[in-house]
């Protein structure tokens, strides 16, 4: 048994190296696209596997399960769901500028419906993918590398002839970084590439004469045109997109708003959320102009119809939709991709530069391969032509040879030792033959019909063609302009066949401004039952149902409908609720859980006091905790904009048991769980800030805790029940704060 070697090292160094290795693996080999072909590894492998399986655009569809399984088994040893999701996205025309996969079956919808299971759907390569992404793979155009188990070869990058990173965009989250590249118009991007190839000193501003801005498959309107130059120079920024809204006339003078295009960011669940947001605007009375909303979208396109009241302010309502819903949204741009093996944020010029360099590399390798092939053909053609001139001698050599090896040796090196000749002249001529190895093989394999005059003539014509091709390929390889012309010619063919009109409008639009309808201020009654369901009702309704309201509800307070209600909890927090967020209506309406309209969590905390935020401004609050700590706090301390703040500081394992409004002429009585009562004046309680713990109100005995706090006016009678006995608070002995208290006899 060998001695095991123990390496002593710093733990942090091992963790650092391991994490960096993991991060780089995610960045380079999973989440980020390559700047050359604009594809992530899973996309590249899926497309290459379809190419290998022969699932071409002009061949029948094949089951996606077959494609996914083959890709997983050969090239991508990860979960089948990640491969299928990548395949689905490449087939969704509402996500990609150009679909790369032609899907057959249910591949999901723009409204967020998922694709059917892979066993039901079928796919094949799209025509553009086959012609512009996978062409010439047989010409040694890109490097191949071993797959994960070294049983197959896969391309390091696909020979994509268009700037796919710009055309189809990209989204991905890596470790410590993310990419978000919008889609662009194929024709515009090709024009920009041509302009760069003709003048590599071209500026981003000049490139933007060709690429106007993003071109999202969902259309929409980009409204911050002036920001685009900076975004395309730096590779980062924010694009504001709006949906397209049209106004349609209806019978009776009514009108309706029809949304025919949505922001790209609204794809999926965003459409359902938009409908809910519009309904919420109506329910919260932010607008009374909307009568009905319906989603009439179909395969033909988006159509969301909002029916309006007669005389509705259309411009104001449209601006409200832009402001209050995702009909206007922001697309965060971060043009991050893997360039030369490392992640880099690039502007549009840098991306085009990398693309053009890649195209020249592809063209060089392609035409070098073609040149070598033509040179091989030329060699064979010249050998055959030469053989035709001495065909009688060659026939004599073949008839006099004992083996193919002897005949080949004679043709290549003039070796005549083992060959019988009819004459010495033939032997001398045979000794002078110097065909190449390839030429000799071609001569030996040549069929007799090749000696027909027309065949010889065809051979000579073919040789002329080969010489022309060699001259052309050498010109392309040796001259930048010639190679550039070839690349541009290819791009123009792709543009002519696959480019389409721009879908997204680019403009500078004014900030959406709308006048919020002022709510008539009125006094309402806040009701909350013991289950936490809250609502507000009119004061008159409360007056008619006062007895039932007070009996059935745990909290009943008066407040303004434009104000806020404050909830103090046992954890020392204060939550604020806008009164307008609560349902307003009938007395018998159920209401809404208070958790739904605030940060209060009924599973983690308990409400100890509720009050109107405005009325609290003029009050002092008495806080008391289970461990006997008390303090007074000015109500103005709680006049804050935040929805949740810390209302008091608590010691370990302590909690708030009481919050009450206190005045200077009141008496305070503290009652513990074990029945000790301590009475003192409100003047005894120290005034503190909300961030303070407070002072001790009563000395607690072991395992005892503060249970109740009572307040009563000096000179008034106050009675409470403890156990089964009635305790008269005003008869308790007056003492000082921080005393032991008097035991109540039960």
List active site positions.
120
Give the DSSP letter of residue 27: I
Kindly give, in sequence order, each residue whose CB lies less than 8 Å from that of residue 138, ignoring residues fewer than 6 positions away.
none
CA dist 453 and 16 (Å) reads: 76
Choose among 14, 17, 33: nearest CA to 183: 33
Report whether 630 contacts 657 (CB < 8 A): no
Kindly give, in sequence order, each residue whose CB lies less than 8 Å from that of residue 691, ignoring residues fewer than 6 positions away.
646, 648, 649
Choose among 265, 548, 669, 61: nearest CA to 556: 548
CA dist 595 and 597 (Å) reads: 6
CA dist 210 and 206 (Å) reads: 8
CA 519 to chain centre: 38
Choose among 61, 141, 70, 160: nearest CA to 103: 61
Report whether 384 contacts 443 (CB < 8 A): yes
Instruction: Return the residue matching tokens 């990419």.
Output: 179
Report whether 326 contacts 263 (CB < 8 A): yes
Query: Is the four-CA dihedral 574, 580, 586, 589 of positive or negative sign?
Result: negative
3 token code pair: 């001695």
Query: Is the four-CA dihedral 46, 51, 56, 62 of positive or negative sign?
Result: negative
Q: Packing angle between helix 480-498 and helix 186-198, nearest 10 degrees?
A: 170
CA dist 67 and 567 (Å) reads: 58
Instruction: Return the residue matching tokens 């066949």.
Output: 497
Q: Which residues pair with 569 in a beta bridge?
A: 607
Q: Maximum CA pair distance of the chain?
A: 152
Report whether 58 contacts 207 (CB < 8 A): no
Distances, alpha carbon 309 to alpha carbons 297, 306, 513, 528, in Å: 22, 10, 21, 35
**Count of Cβ atoms closer than 10 Å to residue 424 Cβ:** 8
Report whether 463 contacts 383 (CB < 8 A): no
Length of the chain counted residue by residue: 746
């Amino acid at each position: 048994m060998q001695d095991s070697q123990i390496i002593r090292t710093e733990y942090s160094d091992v963790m650092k190296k391991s994490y960096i290795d993991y991060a780089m693996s995610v960045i380079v080999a999973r989440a980020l696209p390559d700047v050359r072909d604009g594809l992530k590894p899973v996309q590249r492998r899926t497309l290459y596997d379809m190419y290998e399986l022969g699932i071409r655009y002009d061949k029948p569809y094949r089951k996606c399960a077959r494609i996914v399984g083959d890709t997983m088994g050969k090239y991508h040893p990860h979960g089948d769901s990640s491969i299928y999701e990548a395949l689905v996205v490449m087939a969704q025309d509402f996500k990609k500028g150009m679909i790369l996969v032609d899907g057959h079956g249910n591949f999901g919808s723009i409204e967020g419906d998922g694709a059917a299971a892979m066993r039901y759907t079928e796919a094949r390569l799209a025509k553009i993918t086959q012609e512009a992404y996978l062409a010439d793979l047989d010409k040694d155009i890109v490097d191949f590398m071993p797959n994960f188990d070294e049983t197959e070869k896969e391309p390091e990058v696909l020979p994509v002839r268009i700037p796919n990173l710009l055309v189809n965009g990209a989204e991905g989250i890596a470790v410590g970084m993310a990419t978000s590249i919008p889609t662009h118009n194929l024709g515009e991007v090709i024009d920009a590439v041509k302009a760069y190839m003709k003048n590599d000193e071209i500026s981003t501003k000049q490139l933007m004469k060709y690429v106007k801005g993003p071109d999202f498959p969902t259309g929409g309107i980009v409204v911050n045109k002036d920001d685009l130059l900076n975004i395309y120079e730096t590779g980062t920024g924010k694009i504001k997109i709006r949906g397209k809204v049209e106004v349609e006339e209806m019978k009776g003078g009514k009108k309706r708003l029809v949304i025919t295009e949505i922001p790209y960011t609204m794809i999926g669940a965003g459409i359902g959320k938009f409908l809910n947001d519009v309904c919420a605007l109506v329910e919260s009375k932010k607008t009374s102009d909307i009568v009905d909303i319906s989603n009439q979208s179909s395969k033909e396109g988006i159509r969301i119809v909002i029916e309006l009241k007669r005389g509705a302010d259309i411009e104001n309502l449209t601006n409200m939709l832009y402001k209050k819903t995702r009909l206007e949204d922001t697309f965060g741009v971060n043009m991050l991709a893997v360039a030369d093996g490392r992640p880099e944020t690039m502007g549009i010029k840098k991306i085009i530069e990398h693309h053009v360099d890649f195209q020249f590399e592809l063209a060089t390798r392609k035409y070098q391969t073609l040149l070598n092939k033509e040179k091989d053909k030329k060699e064979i053609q010249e050998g055959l032509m030469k053989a035709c001139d001495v065909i009688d001698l060659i026939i004599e050599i073949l008839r006099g040879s004992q083996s193919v090896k002897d005949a080949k040796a004679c043709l290549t090196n003039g070796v005549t030792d083992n060959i019988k000749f009819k004459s010495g002249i033939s032997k001398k001529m045979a000794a002078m033959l110097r065909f190449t190895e390839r030429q000799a093989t071609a001569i030996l394999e040549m069929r007799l019909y090749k000696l027909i005059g027309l065949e010889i003539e065809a051979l000579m014509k073919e040789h002329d063609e080969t010489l022309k091709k060699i001259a052309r390929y050498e010109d392309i390889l040796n001259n930048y302009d010639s190679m550039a012309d070839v690349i541009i010619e290819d791009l123009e063919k792709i543009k002519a066949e696959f480019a389409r009109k721009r879908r997204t409008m680019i403009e500078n639009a004014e900030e959406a401004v709308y006048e919020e309808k002022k709510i008539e201020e009125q006094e309402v009654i806040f009701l909350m039952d013991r289950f936490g369901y809250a609502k507000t009702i009119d004061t008159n309704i409360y007056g008619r149902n006062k007895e039932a309201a007070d009996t059935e509800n745990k909290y009943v307070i008066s407040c303004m409908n434009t104000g806020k209600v404050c909830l103090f909890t046992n954890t020392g927090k204060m939550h604020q609720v806008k009164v307008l967020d609560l349902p307003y209506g009938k007395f018998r309406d159920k209401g809404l859980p208070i958790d739904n309209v605030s940060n209060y969590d009924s599973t983690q905390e308990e409400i100890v006091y509720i009050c109107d935020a405005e009325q609290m401004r003029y009050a002092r609050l008495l806080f008391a905790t289970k461990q006997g700590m008390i303090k007074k706090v000015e109500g103005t301390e709680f006049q804050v904009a935040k929805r949740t703040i810390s209302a008091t500081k608590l010691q370990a394992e302590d909690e708030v048991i009481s919050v009450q409004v206190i005045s200077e002429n009141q008496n305070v009585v503290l009652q513990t769980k074990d029945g000790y009562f301590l009475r003192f004046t409100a003047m005894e309680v120290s005034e503190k800030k909300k961030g303070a713990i407070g002072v001790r109100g009563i000395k607690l005995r072991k395992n005892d805790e503060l249970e109740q706090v009572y307040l009563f006016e000096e000179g008034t009678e106050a009675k409470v029940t403890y156990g089964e006995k009635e305790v008269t608070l005003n008869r308790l002995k007056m003492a000082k704060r921080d005393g032991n208290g008097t035991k109540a006899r039960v």
